[in-house]
Chain A
Amino acid sequence: MKRLCRELERHLESGVEHLPDALRAHLTGCAKCQRAWRLHRAYQRALQAARGEPTPACELPWSRVQAQLAARAVSRRPQVWLRPALAWGTAVAVALAVGAVLLPWGSQLPSRGETLAQAHRSEPRVPDTPPKADTARDAAGTVSTEAQGVALALVDPRAPDARTVAQATPRMGESARMQPPAPEIPQKGAYAARLRDTETPARRPIDRTEEVMGAPAFGSASESPFIVASLPLTPFGVGDSATGVEYLPISYGSPSSYREGSSNEAIIGSF
């Protein structure tokens, strides 16, 4: 019986109108199939009615479609003036993209700002009284140059207060700006002779505990720091927020790096 029910259902779903005799006989005795059959007949009637329903005529004129077609074609065509603009825009975008790719490469190298910040973190606080550095500078007989807001000091390590100078030189104060001291330019011969003197064995060995400002270790213990430079810098943001004074950490070199004929600028350039 169930097999005939399923068969009748398949017939109705496939749209077959004429039932075989076996299914007709089954239909008379099965209420479920009679219900399905009535629904199918109603569905067929609804379909007939829907098919017979007159569809309204489409009154959309071709001119309207054609106008739309032309308007869309014009709007999609790139303007003549836009072509060079597009080319330039593309070039700028490519340049920016290349720059964005190359920028991380540059930032991976230790930048000057990072070096300064690292040194600043490890250095002891510079005393708030800048005359100490001035005193040391005078005592060591160093050359100081202040030009364009740059202070520099070359300190003889044998001088008693030389290492304190090595810490930092405070930024030039307002008074110093008003009356800048006259720079003293040393003679090259005298300077070289003094450098050779610093390499004498009687020189005081370096006490590592006295190294200031986290200076890097030298190649040999006999070499001592001899170049001390201090630059007041504002752009790098390394400074004492409490005093508002900013310092440039010290960069160290060795006497062996000095060569005859090099100038102070060259030594400073070893930063």
Chain B
Amino acid sequence: MERALAMDNLYAGAVDRTLTDEQLAAKAREGDAAAMEELYLRYRQPVFRIVYRSTRNIDEAEDIVQDVFLKAFERLHTFREQSRFSTWLMRIALNLCTDRARMRQRRQELLEREADHKLAWCHPDAPDPIQTTQQNAFHEAFYTALNQLPDHHRQLIILRDLEEMDYETIAQILGTSVGAVKLRVMRARRAFKAKLEPLLRAIGELE
């Protein structure tokens, strides 16, 4: 009920752009629409970048970004400030990416089953034959292998190797210890290389 009331009484006040994320989050929790907007503008692109690396589709990524901020602002009262606002937001984004990936996979499996596997060519993970040139084949092989990974491995590759986050931040986002993150990253890399190797051999990038 408190959340609903806060959302009902949105007001747009002047926002000091030097405020920290947590200060803005506190104002947003009280229904300050300007604080929400400031948080949105700060983190729209970073969230979008991570989501886009996972989906490789602009429209879908924007949908997920919208869901991330909707969920974040609606559940702002659950943000306990034990972690940074950015890591809390990234955790929401990763969870929504995982949910969306599962839905997409289920939908694709249904489509393939209905079409008796005749639609495999239009699998979103499969490289587009028109766009697949020698120039971007390397790129496509990378993302094809990435999308073949399980969610927990893919997230770690994106966070650590693509976004180059430090282990501590990743540990905060995933809610685990640094040692556990290091171990998981090693396993994720091993799995990723196993997926990547045949694809790179197929395009002649690896003898």
Contact = CB atoms under 8 A, between A and B. Distances in A.
Contact of B48 (A53, A55, A72, A76): A55
A15 B33 CA distance: 43
Interface in B14-57: 33, 36-37, 40-41, 44-45, 47-49, 52-53
Contact of A60 (B53, B66, B73): B66
A69 B62 contact: no
Considering residues A15, A46, A49, A77, which has the most beta carbons from chain B within 10 angstroms of its beta carbon? A46
Size range of the interface on B? 35 or more
Contacts of A76: 4
Interface residues of A, number: 33
Given A59-B62, A60-B62, A66 B4 contact: no
Contacts of A42: 196, 200, 205-206
Given A42-B206, A58-B45, A69 B70 contact: yes
B85 interface: no
Contacts, number: 99
Contacts of B138: 45-46, 49
Interface of A: 13-15, 38-40, 42-43, 45-47, 49-51, 53, 55-60, 62, 64-66, 68-70, 72-74, 76-77
19 contacts: A13-B186, A39-B193, A39-B196, A39-B197, A43-B189, A43-B192, A43-B193, A55-B48, A56-B58, A58-B47, A60-B62, A62-B41, A65-B70, A69-B7, A69-B70, A69-B74, A70-B10, A72-B70, A74-B8
